[in-house]
Structure formats: structure tokens, C-alpha cells
Structure 1
Amino acid sequence: MPPEPTRTVRPLDALRFDACGPPPIMDVVTERLRLLGARTGTNGPRDPGDGRATLAGAGFAPVHAVTGWSAGPASGLTDEATVQAATGVMAVHGRRDGRPRGLAVDWAATTTAVLTVQGLLATLVGQARGAAPATVTTSADRAALLTVSQYLAAAGADEGEAAEVGPGGPPFTSSDGLLFELETLDPAAWAGFWRVLEAPDDAIRAGWRPFQFRYATACAPFPEALHTTTRAHPLARVKEAADRSGAEVCVLRTPAERAAEHDGAAPWSLRLLAPGTRPLPATASASRPLAGLTVLEAGRRIQAPLAAHLLGLLGADVIRVEPPGGDPLRGMPPTCSGVSARWLALNRGKKAVEIDIKSDRDRRTLRAMTAQADVFLHNWAPGKAAALGLDHPDLTAANPGLVYAYTSGWADRLHDAPMGTDFMVQARTGVGAAVRPADEPPAPSLMTLLDVLGALHGTEAVLAGLLLRLRTGHGVRADSSLLGAADTLTAPALRRAGRGADPRPPAGFRRPLRTADGWIAPADTCAAEAARHDLDGLSTTDALTRLRGRGLTATPVTTDLARLRDDPRFPGAITHDAHGAPAVPDPWSLG
């Protein structure tokens, strides 16, 4: 156990780190370690090879992290573009366009960096609980596979999607040329909005299902008549329709607008609560640093469930709080052995208990369970926990050492924030512009980028809270948000905008090249030269041979996620769970 910790106010205070390696990954690692309190030692070269970080001090034995673009050295994946192409990220992001598209932000690098910091925090938590020091190994390809795990699971299911998969989706355009996102979870509000704007009834009916399931399918092929309807009305009329129906709209902002208002806050916040009295059990191991800890998760959709899933992979016992009758998403198509493949990707391995949080009796049961837990994690709507008597003052009264974690939409940081859902946060924070090159109109990705990255932030915040709990003896409130995830993902674009440069990458950036039988993606440094070659009449194999013969790096674009299991770039990486659903590997190796 580390020495006297009472002066610690951040989990990595009094620790030092050294880091080197590819800047897209290691710059994010370095920034996060600093925000958590570690001081920089001597940084090594900024090179494209493997990244390495060492963290030590304050009585902890040194912990090491090794990361890079690929877990398989022979995979040919050497940068962000090739990793996105191989892992299916380009395929999922491109569904709304009907062709694979590269994300113009460094998605794989950013998620890899957050996972690397998670691994370092987890190994320190394990050390403080009696485990041996460990080395954390991560890679961008494994991180990217994790981010598409829901879509991969659905692609390998026993049946088709609940809604059509095809080109189409928001944002909409008003008659004054403004792009906006629309959000509602209520079919009555959906219908009411469109009726105010006098859309055709058949288009309203046909549009709801693809709109409702766009979170799952990453596309929304609803009728063109809906786009035609909004183009006939100014934004003021559109907002009036939203106000009258209970729907919400949000005009797409630019990275420059977000940069101008950015408060510089960290992507999560950690607040010490009362001194704890319940010691954490010393049952950790190097590979399972959270073994023996209990996480209660009251989550919905993606953000909190995925965060808890990662805590379970690190060894925690995760108990999922579900409504009476069980989580209705368990039966959401497509299914494997009768269970939703997408639900399994987020929740496999968890225990479940049915709790009616509207019932006084069941809330008392939940408080009693929390009194014996180490972490309580939820992503309820703002104010709901307090209204139910389940906020951190209510739960820490009986368990002062609790890590109370809230993964929200906005973290109360914006006064004019719309509904805190993935696509609305993308619209409001400039993500919709940042993910597209300069020659494409802004459009939030339908791949639920912020739900996934927000989940990774939530796991990181919980691990930081556990380490702070161990170093101070206090309970901790750990807050993370989709807003924090947006700012992390777009940080390079925000910096460019802040100095007056164009925040968006140039025309054609990360745009795959068509071959006779598929697509290939050149590495970013080779893209301009590769685009000069006419590959349309060549097979993918011949096109790659031509480019590689000229010293250019490229890789085939995965367009069918169901084929990833047999992809030679990921040998043995993708398995099947007990229900037959495809399962991606753990995103880190600890040992």
C-alpha cells in the first residue's frame, strides 16, 4: 500500500510519467495523465512506432504501458486511416452515405489513448489492493473493434436488423439554409412535429422506425419528403413546431463556435466526499485489478452500460439494475439465441436485479444494495437521482466510501444545452463538422461516437475515483459526460480553430478508393499519391499490389462486419459468446 495519502487531491498527484511514441495516441495519453495529477518526466521521441509510457512514484512500483496501431505486427495497419478501414469503422460511419467513409477525426487513436490511461489507473488500483505490478498493452485496432462491437454483434446475429439498413438520415435543412438535428424519444412528439410542418402522413409514419433505430443501425433511410418539408420552412417555424410537439432541434455548430465558448474544463470531475469506513477487499490480481469489487449499474442505452462492461472486464462484479420485467432492450432485434446481440455486446457477463425505482420499497432495497457496493454508476436524466432520493448524499450516508459515478450528457456546463443525446451533443459541439472533410456538408456521425467515447470516459472516471478513494480514504463523486467526450475527440480541431486555422481537414480526406470488387484505404501520408492512380478496373488485390509496388501503404476496407472473424489481419481476435454472438477481445492486456 502506498505511504500516507492524506494530501492527495488528484489520483496521480506525486507520480511522474515518461512517454514517447505516435503523437495521435501519446499526446492524448500525456494530456490525460497531467489532468489526473501526474508530472511529466523526460519524454521520448515523437515517432510513428509503438508508444510507451511509464508511471511511478508515491510508493507505487513503476507501471508500464505499451501501445501502437496494431496488435498483430504483420497486419499492415500503420495509422488511423488503415485501422479505421480494417476494423469496420469506415463501413459503419459510411452507412448513411451508402459507401464507406473515414472519420476525419482520430477516432481509433483517441479511444486507444483513453483505454491506455484506463489500464494504467487499473494497475495502480490493483497495486493498492495487493496485486503485483503489471504492464498494460493496448492497440488501436483492438480499441476500434471495441467501438464497433454492437454493430459487429448485430452483423453476426441469427436475424436481420429491426429497421432497414440503407443510405439516409439527418441532419435536416431549413429554408434559410441552416442545418439542424431533430431529437425525440416519443413517437407522438415525432408525429406532432411533422404535422405542424404539414409533412405527408405516409412519410411521417414511414419515417419513425428508421429514425427511432438510427442509434442501432447507424443510418436512417426515411422518406425524402421529410427533408423536402423542412426545406420549405425557416428555422423559426421549425423551432415553433418543436416547441409545440415536445421534440427538440439543435442547429449544427462549428468547431470555431465551440472553441470560442470552451471553458477548458477536464473531461471528467472528481470530488472528495466523506471519509470512508469500508475497506476495499485485497483480492486483486495483476490481470484482474478490480476483482472482489462490486459495481451497481443503473444504465440505459450505451453510455453507462458500456462503462460498466469495461469495469467487469477488469474483474469487477457488475450488478445491473433493470426495471420490472427486465430490460426491454434484451429482446431488441437482431437476436442470438433469443437475446439481443447488441444488448449482449454491452451487458454480457453481468448479473441483473429487477428494481422499480418508482417504488419506495424498491428504492430502499437499492439503497441497501448500494451500502454494500464499491461503485454506483448511472446515466439517468438530469435531476432524476435527486428526485428519487438516490443522489450521492443519499447513498453515501450509509456507505461513505462509495464511488458515485454519473455519466451525463452535458455535466451542467452549458446553459443552453438541448437534450443530452449523442447526436444532439455532436450537433451542438461541432463534432458534426469535425468528422467530415471540408468538401462535405457537416453531419453528425450516426455511429454513436459520443455514447461510446463517453462510456470510455465513464470507466476512466470510475477508475480514477477508486484510486483516489484508496489514496485518501474518502468516498468520491466521479462525473463524466458526452460533452467531455466531444471535446476530447475534437481537441485538435478546437486548437486549430482557436488559432484561426481551418479546423476541418482538406477535401477528400480519408476517402477510400474504389476498386472493381471493393474499396481500399491508403494511409494518410500516402493518400494524395494513391488517389492519382486509376484503380476502378483492378481487383482489390491487384490495386494493393500496384500501390505497394510504388512504396505506398494501403489496406482493404472491411464492408461486411460479419467477415471480420475470418480476417487475417485479426487472427483469433473475434470469438463467439455462449449465445453465439460475436465478441471482440478485451481492449487491454494486463500482465
Structure 2
Amino acid sequence: MTTALRTVHPAAALAREHLRGLGSGIDLTVDWAGPVESPLVDEYLVQAACGIMHVHGRARGEPVPLAVDYATAVAGVLAAQGVLAAVFGGARAVRTSVAQAALLSVGQYVVSEQPPEIDGDPPPFVSADGVRFELETLRAEDWQRFWRHVGAPEPALRRGWDPFVRRFATAVCPLPAALHDTLSRQPFAAAVAAGRAGGVSVVPMANVPAGPLWALRPLPGSSARCVSPDVSAPLRGLRVVEATRRVQGPLAGHVLRMLGADVLRIEPPGGDPARGTARFAALNAGKAVVELDLATTGGRAAARELVANADVFVHNWAPGRAESWRLDATDLAAVRPGLVYAAASGWGSAMGEDPPLGTDYVVQAHSGLAAAVRPPGEPPAPSLMTITDVLGGLVCALGVLTGLTRRTGTRVDSSLLSATGAISGRRRDFRRPLRTADGYVAIPRAATGPALGGTTASCRESTEAVVGHCVAFYHIGEHSPSAAESTDDVLARLAEAGVPAVAVTTDLGILATDPRFAAAHHRPPWEFS
């Protein structure tokens, strides 16, 4: 079966790949801007206008584009989700856009805490023998043990913990120089030994293959789930139970809720430790909550009762925990035949039975994504924007939707590592936006205008050279835009010449208040009909 594509678009092509063998004649439309009122004509402009350049570049203090088509990759997964949701809910057509995908990917930062204003450089670290590597721990005591083992100065290790643990929310990680210096004087083997002694994961830069986005395995039972009476909410009437933390798992549940499902979160006694933060609210608003101690027999029994009345169960527990709690897929399928059981992890099975911590930055490092997101010639370094967490949550939800369309019991396994397979290779025409007197301006990779008779002017040089070339070509004036001109003036001159340029968003608050984004803000990224 095939999916009818109304428009030839790179995100639609990605969706078609994700849906290979799963489509059913749904009319899919994908464009760049969607409801965003801005001249967005390619990935570069979407990253500029929708905040991706800003978040990715926070650690450097200026907007920097990701050197991969990340927003397009996210849109491809969203488009595939929309098609499967339409199949399940009886809709005939679905529409989404790359701009809406970008806004979803930065949504957790729009309302998150502000980055700390202190000096320092983020990871990765470089050993004395030239190995670039990442560290990960979620416990302050492990952090202290590691750094004491390698002989780091006490004030530096104490000062470094706060920006390190907050980097997921702030997208910056200014560590004291003494920490980098300490590891730069030691061989990589010494860092590995310190990691073992301190309980810290030490992960070198590598290029581990991603594999399939998800793996599906049959579970007992079938389901006669009813088609939603509301085409705009194709999962209405479905019940989802999630036991998740951080970003990947909660985002999967968030997607299913936006599609109309009722989502119930299982949280520990006292609630999720992140509850009350703006970032938590961005991923969990609208979900019901029950507090259960799953480490107890009574808590696990209560969880089974909840799942007995659910259609979907989602977790992102550490490896082995589901089995030890007897809440694995076969356990829960016994109490709810036809269940779609989704397990989201960091590494899947790629790192063996005792994997390192599977969080965003170490997965970027070891998967090769840390190299891909940087321009050619730069050493690999993960983006401090949580790009695999977002893709991991979206891929998990896509796997759930695949299981739902089967209408039989299904186990869905996905991971942050598998989600990196949704991103295509590095772009070769990387460039930074043009600096103006009061901000930055981005122009598309290829600008087309009436002054060129509809032909395309290739823009592959540095930003200044690109804009200078295009300005001269379009006869805007005798001088190229520069840091002496305001953003508005540069945009006006380019618009007069027919070049669809945009101002780079450097304040995420604009995304919530600017009228251009109003139709896309606080709404699902799909339209069904």
C-alpha cells in the first residue's frame, strides 16, 4: 500500500521511508512554514526563525545552525505519525510543516530556566592521548568521586556540578577550565578507570550504526479499538499509561495526548522530582497523574490494574528494571491482551548487557551525530540542544502508532541511538547567519528572485560573501548588508529584491508572543480532515 503525497518535500520523502509498507492512501501534505507567517523556504530559514540556531548556539553565545537537516528530520517523523494516526482514526488527509516540527523541538526551552552567566567551556573532554569523550552521571556523589579520583581541584569540581546537571534544561554547560585541564593531562584509560571507580559513564566519540528506528514484536491478543468520532483527534478514546522520566518518554506520551489519547502518568511517591519546573510542564501538561511506589509489591499490583484498562503502556526505565519488577511486555500482555507495550531506552541492545548511561549527549557522541551536527573541519562535539531526546520520544510514539494500526498486541522497542537514524548526513553548505547592528539575518541556501528571471543563485560561500553576492546580484544597492545596518533595514532591502530572508530568533519568548507564530503556538502540529 502507498501513501499519496500532495507535495514533493524532503520531509514527506522521509515520512514515506518511515511508512514503507504501512501506508493506506492517506493524503499527506508537508510544507516549510505551515501556519507560521514567515517566508520560510528551506531548512536554514526554519532553524533561524524557529529558535533552533539560538538553542544550539547558546554555548557559544551566538546563533549557530545545526549542520544537519534536523527540523526536516523531525517533520518527517511527525508526518509519518500523522499518517498512521489518520489510518487509525479514519481521517483521509493530514498536513504538517517543518516549522511546526522545529517549534515542537524547542518547546521545552521556550519556558525553561535561563542559562547561567559564568565563564567556561562545555564538554567534550580531550585526553592526553587525543581521545575526545563525554561523561555522564545523574548523581552528585558520583561526580565528586570521579573528579577526586583524577585529582581535579576541589573548588572546580564543586563549581562544575551545577552547570553540568542543568545542561539538559539550559543548553549550556560552562565548566571550569581546571576540569578540562585535569583530564587533558591524563590518558583516556585513566578517565575510564576513574569512571568505573566513581560510577560515571565515560563514552568516547565513535560512529555506532543506528539500525532500524524501532523493533516490533507480537504480543498475545487483538483489539477492536473503535475509530474516533473526532477526526481532528484520531486517538480519542484510547488510554495510555506511561511510567517515564526526563524527555524521551514524556514526549512520547505528549504526542499521543496531542493526538487525542487520555494519558495517565505513574510517578513515584511525592511526584516526579522535576514536577513544578516549566520544562516538565511543557512535556506533561494535560496528563493525569497517579503516585505509585513501583519498588513495592503493592505499587506494582496497582500498576497492573491500571494497565488492564489501557491500550498502550510506555516506559523508559533502565535496562533490566521491567523484568525485575515483573512489568515486562509478557507480564502486562497477560493482564491486557492486545496491549501496545513501548520500551524506550538509550542504547537498545547496541552496548551489551551493561551499557553506559544512555542520555542524550553520550548517545550523540558515540553514534557519530556529534560529528555530523558540526560543520566540516570542526572537531566533533554534541549539541547541547537535546536533539536525540526529542527524536527518541517522537520515534517511540511513531512505533506505538504502528502497533495501534496493527490492532494486535505489539511490543515496540526504540532508543535514542535508533532515533539518530532519522537524521540524514551532514550538509556541506554550512554557514553562519549574517551579523547586523542589532541581531542576525538568515538567507536561504539558494535565493530566487525576479531580478534573476526566476533562476537560482547558489549561495555556498561564507555568510558575508553569500549576502554580498546576492545583494550585488539583485541590485539592491552599492553596499552589502553589514553589522552597520539594522536587521529591519537588511530584511527590507532583501525583500525588495525578492530574497526570502528572516531575522534569526535570539529570544525564545518571541515564539510565544509574536503574531507570526500565533497560529502554531500551543496547538498540535498536525491538521486532519
Q: Provide the rounded CA distance (Å) in 1 between the counterparts of 2:240 and 2:79.
A: 21
Write the mapping of 1:461-476 to structure 2, written as runs, cut at 5 A: 461-469=399-407, 474-476=408-410
Name the structure 2 match of 1:423.
361
Q: Provide the rounded CA distance (Å) in 2 between the counterparts of 1:249 and 1:549.
A: 53
Q: How far does the alpha carbon of each residue in 1:79-124 deviate from its partner, in whole angstroms, 9 at most, with x for none?
A: 0010011011110010111111100111111111110110110011
Name the structure 1 match of 2:174.
221
Say whether residues 1:303 and 2:248 are aligned partners: yes
Counterpart selection for 1:383 from 300, 320, 334: 320
Please report how far the alpha carbon of residue 543 of structure 1 lies from its aligned counterpart in structure 2 after TM superposition: 2.0
Q: Provide the rounded CA distance (Å) in 1 between the counterparts of 2:396 and 2:445.
A: 31
- Whichever residue aligns with residue 104 of structure 2, its letter is L
Say whether residues 1:67 and 2:20 are aligned partners: no
Name the structure 2 match of 1:448.
386
Say whether residues 1:459 and 2:405 are aligned partners: no
Counterpart selection for 1:528 from 460, 479, 489: 460
Counterpart selection for 1:271 from 169, 194, 217: 217
Q: TM-score w.r.t. structure 2 length?
A: 0.91
Say whether residues 1:207 and 2:152 are aligned partners: no
Counterpart selection for 1:32 from 18, 26, 29: 18
Name the structure 1 match of 2:453.
none
Name the structure 2 match of 1:323.
268
Name the structure 2 match of 1:482.
416
Name the structure 1 match of 2:340.
403
Q: Provide the rounded CA distance (Å) in 2 between the counterparts of 1:216 and 1:187.
A: 17
Q: Provide the rounded CA distance (Å) in 1 between the counterparts of 2:45 and 2:411.
A: 39
Please report how far the alpha carbon of residue 73 of structure 1 lies from its aligned counterpart in structure 2 after TM superposition: 7.3
SS in structure 1 opposite 2:32? Answer: coil
Say whether residues 1:170 and 2:116 are aligned partners: no
Say whether residues 1:153 and 2:76 are aligned partners: no
Please report how far the alpha carbon of residue 428 of structure 1 lies from its aligned counterpart in structure 2 after TM superposition: 0.5
Retained in 1: the 8 A contact 2:48–2:442?
yes
Name the structure 1 match of 2:239.
294
Retained in 1: the 8 A contact 2:33–2:41?
yes
Write the mapping of 1:81-120 to structure 2, written as runs, cut at 5 A: 81-120=44-83
SS in structure 1 opposite 2:3? Answer: strand
Retained in 1: the 8 A contact 2:120–2:177?
no
Name the structure 2 match of 1:501.
none
Counterpart selection for 1:434 from 367, 372, 381: 372
Q: How far does the alpha carbon of each residue in 1:2-60 deviate from its partner, in whole angstroms, 9 at most, with x for none?
A: xxxxxxxxxxxxx22343645531231121121xx24xxxxxxxxxxxxxxxx53xxxx
- Whichever residue aligns with residue 143 of structure 1, its letter is A
| Identical-pair percentage | 46
Name the structure 1 match of 2:331.
394
Name the structure 2 match of 1:512.
433
Q: Provide the rounded CA distance (Å) in 2 between the counterparts of 1:510 and 1:355.
A: 50
Name the structure 2 match of 1:143.
101
Q: Provide the rounded CA distance (Å) in 2 between the counterparts of 1:117 and 1:379.
A: 22
Retained in 2: the 8 A contact 1:96–1:167?
no
Q: How far does the alpha carbon of each residue in 1:420-477 deviate from its partner, in whole angstroms, 9 at most, with x for none?
A: 11111100110100001013221101111000000000110111001112xxxx3111
Q: Provide the rounded CA distance (Å) in 2 between the counterparts of 1:330 and 1:476.
A: 31
* Range with greater deviation from structure 2 (208-217 or 189-198): 189-198
Name the structure 2 match of 1:350.
287
Retained in 2: the 8 A contact 1:96–1:169?
yes
Name the structure 1 match of 2:425.
492
Q: Provide the rounded CA distance (Å) in 1 between the counterparts of 2:199 and 2:333.
A: 36
SS in structure 2 opposite 1:275? Answer: strand
Retained in 2: the 8 A contact 1:510–1:524?
no
Where in structure 1 are there 5+ consecutive unaligned residues? Answer: 1-14, 39-54, 57-61, 128-132, 155-159, 332-339, 494-503, 575-583
Retained in 2: the 8 A contact 1:193–1:241?
yes
- Whichever residue aligns with residue 30 of structure 1, its letter is R
Please report how far the alpha carbon of residue 310 of structure 1 lies from its aligned counterpart in structure 2 after TM superposition: 0.9
Please report how far the alpha carbon of residue 282 of structure 1 lies from its aligned counterpart in structure 2 after TM superposition: 4.5
Q: Provide the rounded CA distance (Å) in 2 between the counterparts of 1:161 and 1:567.
A: 20
SS in structure 1 opposite 2:438? Answer: coil
SS in structure 2 opposite 1:343? Answer: helix
Q: Provide the rounded CA distance (Å) in 2 between the counterparts of 1:569 and 1:283.
A: 32
Q: Provide the rounded CA distance (Å) in 2 between the counterparts of 1:447 and 1:385.
A: 29
Aligned length: 502
- Whichever residue aligns with residue 379 of structure 2, its letter is P
Please report how far the alpha carbon of residue 376 of structure 1 lies from its aligned counterpart in structure 2 after TM superposition: 0.5
Retained in 1: the 8 A contact 2:92–2:528?
yes
Counterparts in 2 of 1:417 and 1:346: CA distance versus 1, 3 Å: same
- Whichever residue aligns with residue 85 of structure 2, its letter is A
SS in structure 2 opposite 1:148? Answer: helix
Write the mapping of 1:175-190 to structure 2, written as runs, cut at 5 A: 175-190=128-143
Q: Provide the rounded CA distance (Å) in 1 between the counterparts of 2:37 and 2:504.
A: 17
Q: Provide the rounded CA distance (Å) in 1 between the counterparts of 2:425 and 2:178.
A: 37
SS in structure 1 opposite 2:406? Answer: helix
Name the structure 2 match of 1:337.
none
Please report how far the alpha carbon of residue 240 of structure 1 lies from its aligned counterpart in structure 2 after TM superposition: 1.4
Q: Provide the rounded CA distance (Å) in 1 between the counterparts of 2:271 and 2:115.
A: 20
Name the structure 1 match of 2:452.
none
- Whichever residue aligns with residue 270 of structure 2, its letter is G
Q: How far does the alpha carbon of each residue in 1:484-540 deviate from its partner, in whole angstroms, 9 at most, with x for none?
A: 111221x335xxxxxxxxxx635xx14111111101122122543652235111111
Q: Provide the rounded CA distance (Å) in 2 between the counterparts of 1:87 and 1:18.
A: 28
Retained in 2: the 8 A contact 1:91–1:101?
yes
SS in structure 2 opposite 1:531? Answer: helix
- Whichever residue aligns with residue 399 of structure 2, its letter is A
Counterpart selection for 1:122 from 58, 67, 85: 85
Counterparts in 2 of 1:282 and 1:537: CA distance versus 1, 3 Å: closer
Retained in 1: the 8 A contact 2:3–2:28?
no
Write the mapping of 1:551-566 to structure 2, written as runs, cut at 5 A: 551-566=498-513
Please report how far the alpha carbon of residue 151 of structure 1 lies from its aligned counterpart in structure 2 after TM superposition: 0.5
SS in structure 2 opposite 1:404? Answer: strand
Retained in 1: the 8 A contact 2:214–2:415?
yes
Retained in 2: the 8 A contact 1:142–1:585?
no
Q: Provide the rounded CA distance (Å) in 1 between the counterparts of 2:119 and 2:297.
A: 45
Retained in 2: the 8 A contact 1:88–1:561?
yes
Retained in 1: the 8 A contact 2:48–2:65?
yes
Retained in 2: the 8 A contact 1:403–1:475?
yes
- Whichever residue aligns with residue 366 of structure 1, its letter is A
Name the structure 2 match of 1:545.
492
- Whichever residue aligns with residue 16 of structure 1, its letter is T
Counterparts in 2 of 1:107 and 1:22: CA distance versus 1, 3 Å: farther
Q: Provide the rounded CA distance (Å) in 2 between the counterparts of 1:552 and 1:198.
A: 56
Q: Provide the rounded CA distance (Å) in 1 between the counterparts of 2:164 and 2:328.
A: 33
Q: Provide the rounded CA distance (Å) in 1 between the counterparts of 2:109 and 2:134.
A: 23
Q: Provide the rounded CA distance (Å) in 1 between the counterparts of 2:269 and 2:117.
A: 30
SS in structure 1 opposite 2:446? Answer: helix
